[in-house]
Structure 1
């Protein structure tokens, strides 16, 4: 297969074959997953904060993982990406963890331990790390320990962030699709790493196959933790690879790809960090469930699921465009601008949500006759009090009557 990559036209054909193969596997296997899940009653039931109204299978991550495993083995990704065996080992660990959580809910502690394990494999065994910050906050080369800790935290945090943002049909899938599509095109354009390009195009095909059944109303299947953990994990690794593997590439000479990597991961990472900080400031656990994620805010604003997906997809494209335009500048400027844009957009969304909820708030019906009667008696009571005369009526009983009257429908 190595000879195939000596021709640009053949390289493109390989990428197309990877994309189509992954697409067909997921497209054709998900109906079988749905059938088995319904027969065995492995379904996600609508409760509490969950938006869907029907019991729905949530095991599409099985099809996505199967597509990645088969395609990457068939096209020998390991020959072009030396770290692939370690990457796949971490992916398998998260697959097993996500599958267990989709079938029998696990504690957050156990899920974090699996994410820590996957990040450890990448940082320590695969030695895939951010070794240079390229001037971000005036920092360039960093020691091994600092490099390992930063990369470890990024992989763990982003993996968890994509798991948390999967709250609206098509949202996590679309965000992942845009990220892998950009990375696939970017890696293939820069050249030199066919393995990363194939992994990205494989995920693009797999996610399009999944969205065929998820981005409809009502969704026929959810990806579950089995899928969302895979997306966050692989996207965080490929984003780190921009910084690590193309550290001295002329195209990324200015920022080292840090701005692009941040832009790719910005929406789920910023949202999760904002939610954690808000919960801690309120005295709650950062992992306590609530309705403060960006998709909850947009739902409260009156957006439908597809409108939320489209809106956040456009925001992600905006972030990537800004980072790409500023890729020749110091990453401090890029990340600062992305943060400023995010804060402005979040403020607009919060204000829109508050206005929408205020307009929907029910008004308490007022009995004008009773109000006039109470007002008259209050004036009489005040007049009698000035003359030291005991009132002959009970205002409390009138107020009780008013409260009882307000409960009656008009």
Structure 2
């Protein structure tokens, strides 16, 4: 019996390693194939007033991540309606993201496609956020079918949160790894027999992109960006994993509390809310693109891009660990929610006043010239 168990575990290990190897190879191969093609079809990012990089950078990172995940999942994951709908939704977002990378689409068509993808998750897959847990100490808050509308809005918000955070080398990729790894850890803590292959595939698929995006060993002239196709794919993946992880669905019971999800996506969500509030306060559209994100602030105060990446990633890991520890130690959901809202408020206030200080300093500098 023990020999059979060891043999079975060995088979699972070989299959897992094979899946991760295929993921890595496909992602690398996709980058190498698309590198010479991207400039020919206009799939490049050109420097402008908001983008200070040098030259035309291929926007192929997201396509490479999606392709690696798709191929490996097709061969190594058990096929189901849920997974099929996830990949159909992802394909739609990668398509519209690629079109946006090439033609710089307006906000409206992007939001329409994001809403369409959200409805596929809610009405096609039949999964949506409705149970928020005991966040008010009065019993579980369940909004029932109203959760369908809430999930559509949450899906659009999450997609755009990761799209907005993609502003310096490696940031969106790092944020996605922190969140996906946190989901895997929380799932494992709740069920040690859970299949964690998909999160592992997602993480491994991101590694080749990060090498070509941030590594100093990457050959000159072969730098790539993730592009809207990648950041929107990651945002959809994150919200999909969070819905499955926090809600009881036909595929299983929840692995962690809904409030914990806020902690493991803290930086993208807080940054999006802070900048949208700041834009509204300044009389601008909340969807107006600008250089007002947390990474822009750190760069403006003199921090190098690599150091800003490490600092933001470290903060993201710290928030995720708070969520994981709170879940593991059974800290009451209401306490976790209050703590998150307090940090969110502090984050928004610090962000707004920090930008006012920077802008005031710039005006004084101009006046003195």
Pairwise same-fold verdict (TM > 0.5): yes
**Does the 8 Å CA contact 2:90/2:233 hold for their aligned counterparts?**
yes
Determine if the alignment matches structure 1 residue 337 to structure 2 residue 336: no
Report the CA distance shift for 1:77/1:308 in structure 2 as closer, same or farther (over 3 A).
farther
Which residue does the alignment assign to 1:49? Answer: 50
Which residue does the alignment assign to 1:73? Answer: 74
Determine if the alignment matches structure 1 residue 309 to structure 2 residue 290: no
Q: Any idea what the Cα deviations from partners look like across 1:270-304, whole Å, max 9, x if unmatched?
A: 11112112212222211112222111111112112
Determine if the alignment matches structure 1 residue 222 to structure 2 residue 225: yes
Q: Higher mean Cα deviation, 293-302 or 352-361?
A: 352-361
Larger Rg belongs to: 1
**Does the 8 Å CA contact 1:62/1:226 hold for their aligned counterparts?**
yes
Which residue does the alignment assign to 1:242? Answer: 245
Which residue does the alignment assign to 1:90? Answer: 89
Question: How much has 1:165 moved relative to structure 2?
Answer: 1.1
Aligned residues: 356
Query: C-alpha distance in 1, partners of 2:10/2:129?
Result: 33
**Does the 8 Å CA contact 1:5/1:11 hold for their aligned counterparts?**
no
Determine if the alignment matches structure 1 residue 155 to structure 2 residue 158: no
Query: C-alpha distance in 1, partners of 2:147/2:343?
Result: 28
Pairs within 5 Å for 1:158-307: 158-189=158-189, 190-191=191-192, 193-194=194-195, 197-216=196-215, 220-245=223-248, 256-307=256-307
Q: Higher mean Cα deviation, 32-41 or 99-108?
A: 32-41
Q: Higher mean Cα deviation, 39-48 or 203-212?
A: 39-48
TM-score by length of structure 2 reads 0.86
Give 3-state SS (helix, strand or coil) of 1:127's partner.
coil
Q: Higher mean Cα deviation, 330-339 or 206-215?
A: 330-339
**Does the 8 Å CA contact 2:182/2:324 hold for their aligned counterparts?**
no
Q: Any idea what the Cα deviations from partners look like across 1:196-250, whole Å, max 9, x if unmatched?
A: x222111101111110100146870101011111100001110121111489x99
TM-score by length of structure 1 reads 0.78
Question: How much has 1:155 moved relative to structure 2?
Answer: 1.3
Query: C-alpha distance in 2, partners of 1:141/1:214?
Result: 43
**Does the 8 Å CA contact 1:61/1:225 hold for their aligned counterparts?**
yes
Query: C-alpha distance in 1, partners of 2:254/2:42?
Result: 52
Which residue does the alignment assign to 1:126? Answer: 125
Question: How much has 1:147 moved relative to structure 2?
Answer: 1.6
Question: How much has 1:41 moved relative to structure 2?
Answer: 4.9
Query: C-alpha distance in 1, partners of 2:206/2:363?
Result: 37
Q: Any idea what the Cα deviations from partners look like across 1:145-188, whole Å, max 9, x if unmatched?
A: 22212222211110111111111111001101121222234334
Query: C-alpha distance in 2, partners of 1:269/1:227?
Result: 17
Gaps of 5+ in 2: none
Q: Any idea what the Cα deviations from partners look like across 1:343-363, whole Å, max 9, x if unmatched?
A: 445656666663798499648
Query: C-alpha distance in 1, partners of 2:307/2:110?
Result: 31
Q: Any idea what the Cα deviations from partners look like across 1:282-330, whole Å, max 9, x if unmatched?
A: 2221111222211111111211211121111111111111112222123
**Does the 8 Å CA contact 1:298/1:349 hold for their aligned counterparts?**
no
Question: How much has 1:20 moved relative to structure 2?
Answer: 2.6
Question: How much has 1:141 moved relative to structure 2?
Answer: 4.7
Report the CA distance shift for 1:68/1:360 in structure 2 as closer, same or farther (over 3 A).
same
Give 3-state SS (helix, strand or coil) of 2:127's partner.
coil
Report the CA distance shift for 1:132/1:9 in structure 2 as closer, same or farther (over 3 A).
farther
Which residue does the alignment assign to 2:107? Answer: 108
Which residue does the alignment assign to 1:32? Answer: 33
Query: C-alpha distance in 2, partners of 1:250/1:225?
Result: 33
